[in-house]
Structure 1
Amino acid sequence: MQAQQLSGLAKFQPGVSEIVDAGSGVQIDLGLSQAVPWRVRVLDDPARLVVDFREVDWTGLADMPQASDAVVAMRAGVFRPGWSRLVLELAAPMQVTSAEMRTKGAVGVHLRLEPITEAAFAALAALPEPAEWTLPQAAVLQPAPKKPGKLVVVLDPGHGGIDPGAERDGQNEKTLVLKFARELKEALLRDGGFDVVMTRDEDVFVPLETRISIAHQAGASVFLSLHADAIAEGDAVGATIYSLAADASDEASAALAERHDRDDLLAGVDLSQQDDLVAEVLMDMARTDTSPRTERLGMALETAIKAQGVKMHRHPRQQASFSVLKSADIPSILLELGFLSSERDLKRLNDPKWRETMAAAVVSGLKAWAKQDAGLQALPLK
């Protein structure tokens, strides 16, 4: 399909859209306000249909009639600048037997899906992305030369675009943490001792691996991922500091790490590839130096947050296998600002004064850690 440059943003039309059973298969109609360039493919583990558009406002997706058990979940949003993505998780493997953009009458995409064997579906899902459709590489950053005493901090607002993160009372995690990240960036820059890079500064989807690549290209001294998740079980309240570990501190931590990776997977990212043995050994060697530095970073942040009187979780420092923390050579922390499953935490996240206090605590913690780390790095090896 020829890429067509359109000046307007197409809007989803739920009133002329539906997902219904049709014979042995499924019929999907997606009404749009205007025709746009698009493409469709399937991905595996879990089975899902992915439809990319340039570009669609998906407001009203939850109102679309859904009368088929073949589709078990839907999500949509910005996937990259200028492009949006709709992901339909399928109950069983299916193939696209018909796909067209209708431009007469009710404008929109018409899809027909039919059952297929798991082997055949896996083969379709394994087809390589066309070069122009592959996931975007991390932006080539040209940071200014490091100034003496400057700490390069990469702030990573979690989720974004197609991935809203946790949601409650009409609010979502991706928006709340981006707001805080912007305010924290300003606080760090006002201090004068930091250079700051954001993995995203707008509502776009950034794959986990790209977030780490951005940190490396920026020459990061610290990688700080910001979240505000929700935990269904238990009474999770207060800020929590996570560092990387193969074994999670508890079941809740393990569930959070699994959900973060699953969110990336559902957005169309393949996390199945494992490091080969040589790479794994090299990363373990690098982490021998990085891990204690990360632990000291977590301790410094905990001390500073408590000193500001900010509410912390009853277990303020925990560990889990978050993929976004797996950079072997950069001290990396995931900071849960609070939990959207807690009404009190949600109220705090919406309080500008609370965010200002938390930002000041993070700045203080980073400064304390940087001073300690520099002193330890300067010690002669024995």
Structure 2
Amino acid sequence: MIRAVLSFLMIWLAIPALAQDFRALARVLPADSSLSDVAGGGARMALALTQAVPFRVFTLDDPARVVVDFREVAWDGMSADFDAADAVAGVETGGALEPGWSRMVLELSRPLAVAQAAMATDPADGTATVHLRLDPTSAEAFAETAGAPPGVATLVAPAAGEMARPRQSGAGMLVVVLDPGHGGLDPGAQRDGHDEADLTLVFARELRETLVRSGRFEVILTRDSDVFVPLPTRVSIARAAGADLFISLHADALAEGRATGATVYTLSGTASDEASAALAERHDRADLLAGIDLSGSDDVVAGVLMDLARLETDPRSDALADALVAGIAAAEGDLHSRPRLEAGFTVLKAADIPSVLVELGFMSEPEDLANLLDPVWRALMQATMRDAILDWAVEDAAAATLLRQ
């Protein structure tokens, strides 16, 4: 049986968005990077990078190897004496087989299990260090847990990959970034002992599994635990991952009045109605809690460039939102009386990535809260969203072909 040790392991800390340039490749900081033996026959790696990037770790057998993939790292700063560990026979670096990924392969001298894999980010300058600890294990135990995550090529010979991700063609893997709303110091809406942050994280994890199992998706979460991630950083994660689409997940509550069912939002400079404006303001306040002020951060030129990019991206976001609403309706799912709205959510402001925000329901409504807590309802909604995204991908690719003509 093939099982991944860590299918997608990503650590994102609450750091100022402007402390890093996510548009550039992360680079190795050789002075702070090392790979050495530890007592007992294991090994420890510290890989210092100029900025935080999503990464994943897994093992492969015959021969024994540890593979660490990054989005993306330029390896030209690697020191020749980086590998000082007898437990690691050699280190190869380069591009992974999938475009947009960089790969490090540790060739093991003996079976070693991944005991720790984590990323620590310096809040002052945005640099990050990946810490990897490998402990001795038996050959049988190593073989039992070895295997690549679903959808990841098992060939590990580093190969040159594309540096820029083209618009999706409808044929290859779709890179989806799921954004579970709130988290950490911002629990979101609260009802009957339940936090919105917890419910959206459960839904996002399950949706990730639903998408990955189809064999058509590569999925990244902006957070995979109860941590606070600033709103602009969530967008930066999607851009660093080369996302084909971005879906933010929420489950709000109304202080007054009643509302039920799912709503899908796209970006607008002005909200569809006062309720949408209030909702956007409530979500965006999370950044104020972290002390981040984004006012005036974009100059005129940047604003013009983003507006030009949105001329192509906004219709794609609208089409994605329409596909999700149509899919939920066809599956006889629960929809709000006005299921398609617009608002100025910060997480939808990526100029170059089709983005939507899905309010799965309203925690203030007992029926909606019961749905969110029901694994059967969640599974049906997740399957519906998967099918709707695939339908959108086909139509989006066809529209791109027409534009090229």
Q: State the TM-score bracket (shorter-chain normalisation).
A: 0.5 to 0.7
SS for the counterpart of 1:253 is: helix
Report how far residue 149 of structure 1 moved. Answer: 1.5
Provide the residue aligned with 1:184 in structure 2: 207
Equivalent position of 1:216 in the other structure: 239
**Is 2:294 the partner of 1:304?**
no
Instruction: Confirm whether residue 159 of structure 1 aligns to residue 182 of structure 2.
Output: yes
CA distance in 2, matches of 1:373, 1:304: 16
The alpha carbon displacement at 1:350 in A equals 0.3
Residues 309, 139 of structure 1: alpha-carbon distance in 2 compared, 3 angstrom cutoff? farther
TM-score when scaled to structure 1? 0.62
Question: Cα distance 1:270–1:135, how it changes in 2: closer, same or farther (>3 A)?
Answer: farther
CA drift of 1:154 comes to 0.3
Residue number among 390, 394, 400 corresponding to 1:371 in the alignment: 394
Q: Report deviation, 1:276.
A: 1.0
Which residue of 2 is the match for residue 268 of structure 1?
Answer: 291
> Residue 288 of structure 1 aligns with which residue?
311
Is the CA contact 1:155–1:225 (under 8 Å) kept in the aligned structure 2?
yes
User: What is the match of residue 193 of structure 1?
Assistant: 216
Q: Which amino acid aligns with 2:234?
A: R
Moved over 2 A (4+): 131-140, 143-148, 267-274
SS in 1 for 2:259: coil
SS in structure 2 of the partner of residue 165 of structure 1: coil
Asked whether the equivalents of residues 164 and 173 of structure 1 are also in contact (C-alpha less than 8 Å), the reply is yes
2:124 paired residue number: 134
Q: How many pairs are equivalent?
A: 250
Q: Secondary structure at the match of 2:184?
A: coil
User: How large is the RMSD of aligned CA atoms in angstroms?
Assistant: 2.2
Contact 1:265-1:271 within 8 A present in 2 as well:
no
Indicate yes or no: 2:343 matched with 1:353.
Answer: no
1:306/1:273 Cα in 2 relative to 1: closer, same or farther (>3 Å)? Answer: same
Asked if structure 1 preserves the Cα contact closer than 8 Å seen for 2:328 and 2:381, the reply is yes
- Cα deviation, 1:185-216, whole Å, max 9, x if unaligned, reads 00000111111111011111111111111101
Q: How far off is 1:135 after superposition?
A: 8.1
2:260 counterpart (237, 262, 270)? 237
Report if the CA contact (8 A) 1:286-1:329 is conserved.
Answer: yes
Distance 2:217 2:265 in 1: 22
Pick 1 or 2: higher relative contact order, CA cutoff 8 A, min separation 6: 2
Structure 2 CA distance for partners of 1:356 and 1:137, relative to 1, 3 Å = farther
Any idea what SS the aligned residue of 2:264 has? strand
Output the CA distance in 2 between the equivalents of 1:139 and 1:246: 38
Q: Secondary structure at the match of 1:219?
A: coil
Is 2:222 the partner of 1:202? no
Distance across 1 between alignment mates of 2:348 and 2:297: 16
- AA partner of residue 290 (structure 2): A
- Identify which of 339, 343, 351 aligns with 2:366: 343
Moved more, 268-277 or 243-252: 268-277
Q: Secondary structure at the match of 1:379?
A: helix
- Give the equivalent residue in structure 1 for 2:77: none
Amino acid at match of 1:371: V
Q: Provide the rounded CA distance (Å) in 1 between the counterparts of 2:341 and 2:177.
A: 21
Aligned residues of 1:138 and 1:214 also touching (Cα < 8 A): no
Q: Distance in 2 between matches of 1:332 and 1:219?
A: 13
2:316 counterpart of 1:326: no
Q: Please give the residue correspondences for 1:41-60 in structure 2 after superposition, counting only pairs within 5 Å.
A: none
Partners of 1:244 and 1:257 in 2: CA distance: 10
Change (3 A) 1:273 1:217: same
2:31 aligns to what?
Answer: none
Contact 1:243 1:298 in 2 (8 A): yes
Q: Percent identity?
A: 57
1:269 is matched by which residue type in structure 2?
I
**Alpha-carbon distance in structure 1 between the residues aligned to 2:363 and 2:173:** 34
Post-superposition Cα deviations, 1:335-374, rounded to whole Å, max 9, x if no partner, equal 0001111111111100001000110111011000000001
Which residue of 191, 196, 203 maps to 1:173?
196
For residues 227 and 273 of structure 1, what CA distance do their matches in structure 2 show? 27
Assess, with a 3 A threshold, how the Cα gap between structure 1 residues 221 and 139 changes in structure 2: closer, same or farther.
farther
Deviation at 1:132, TM superposition (A): 4.9
What is the alpha-carbon distance in structure 2 between the residues aligned to residue 224 and residue 252 of structure 1? 21
Q: Which moved more, 1:131-140 or 1:219-228?
A: 131-140
Once the two structures are superposed, residues 220-248 of structure 1 have per-residue CA deviations (whole angstroms, 9 ceiling, x without a partner) of 00000000011223321110000000110
Q: Using structure 2 for the length normalisation, give the TM-score.
A: 0.59
The aligned residue for residue 116 of structure 2 is none
Could you say if the C-alpha distance between residues 205 and 285 of structure 1 is closer, same or farther in structure 2, counting changes exceeding 3 Å?
same
Name the SS for the 2:275 alignment partner.
Answer: helix
- Structure 1, unmatched stretches of 5+, are 1-130
Going from structure 1 to structure 2, the CA distance change for 1:150 and 1:257 (only over 3 Å counts) comes to: same
SS at match of 2:176: strand
- Structure 1 residues 93-132: aligned runs within 5 Å: 132=122
